[in-house]
Amino acid sequence: TSSGAAVIQETCTANTNKQWLFTPVAAQGTATVAADGTGKYRTVQAAIDAVPANNGNRVVITIKPGTYREIVTIPANKPYITLQGLGSSAKDVVIVNNHSAGTYGTFNSATAFVNGHDAALTNLTVSNDFDENTSSTGQQAVALNLNADRAVLSNVRLLGDQDTFLVNASARAYMTGSYVEGTVDFIFGDGTIVINNCDIYEKRSTGGPITAARTDAGKTYGFLIYKSRISGATANTTQLGRPWGPNAQVLYRESTLSSTIKTSQPWTDMSGNSWKNARFFEYKNTGAGATANSNRPQMSDSQAANYTPQKYLAGSDGWNPIG
């Protein structure tokens, strides 16, 4: 096209709320971004910068396989942007940097900042390759800082150590068929997210808490980890989470918990906030790490009816990215 966007084919379906969902399939022609110079832009950020502010239609930025060492920001005034990797897997397109809290502060350390509403990331990796073992302070290093409402992440890999994935208060997000790894609090924040059919991996041999939610007391829904697989480097070392805020809300639902989970005490306190006062629950999980005891609150069937993926994401506009 005259704007330089790649020619793509899309499949359109309507969900029960009459919202149109777009599923990008095989891209045709020249990639929008290619580090080797064969695309219109050499960097992802250059392609984003070329999108007009306050655009009203979806813009799909296709990215040729390669490593893109840059900081990527989708600004709040550029909604409906899709970043789509063109590789055969999410490993083929890697957006990476190594900023850390020691220099930038935790929130500003991210490799990617996604702020425009209705953003989508698919078939790519976002990584922060700062090594927490090289610093005695400021170990936090975010891969993805998400502020976008109605964001969809599909077939995405998020890689980091501490604080890999930040979901902020303004975000409602749906993540599916993806992978997240880290060491401490590596899914954290005060937003709302459904993580469906994903793999979550605690890579540190000494383990650590996976989630650190800071859900506002007036917000019913925080983090739902749904039909996903939790694993880790070692057995009986990993915690399901801890409360960054006193009213943190996290539910592990119908997921497979491996032996990496500390079965006797899978929740822990944080910064004076007691896990017992937080809204932490499990429901119908399976696997070696899915035992039940007094330290593992289980949601009842009647409660679970109100904690489905659709209810987490619906908000006041009835958003349903699941179909």
Residue 320 phi, psi (nearest 5): -145, 85
Check residue 14 and give its pLDDT: 35
Check residue 222 and give its pLDDT: 98
Q: Mean pLDDT across the stretch 174-197?
A: 98
The set of catalytic residues is 163, 185
Check residue 267 and give its pLDDT: 98
Q: Of residues 42 and 4, which shows the higher confidence score? A: 42
The mean pLDDT of the chain is 92
Check residue 28 and give its pLDDT: 41
pLDDT tens-digit map of 191-234: 999 999 999 999 999 999 999 999 999 999 999 999 999 999 99
pLDDT tens-digit map of 17-41: 333 344 443 344 568 999 999 999 9
pLDDT tens-digit map of 87-130: 999 999 999 999 999 999 999 999 999 999 999 999 999 999 99
pTM attached to this predicted model: 0.92
Q: Which domains does the chain have, with CATH numbers?
A: 7-314 (2.160.20.10)
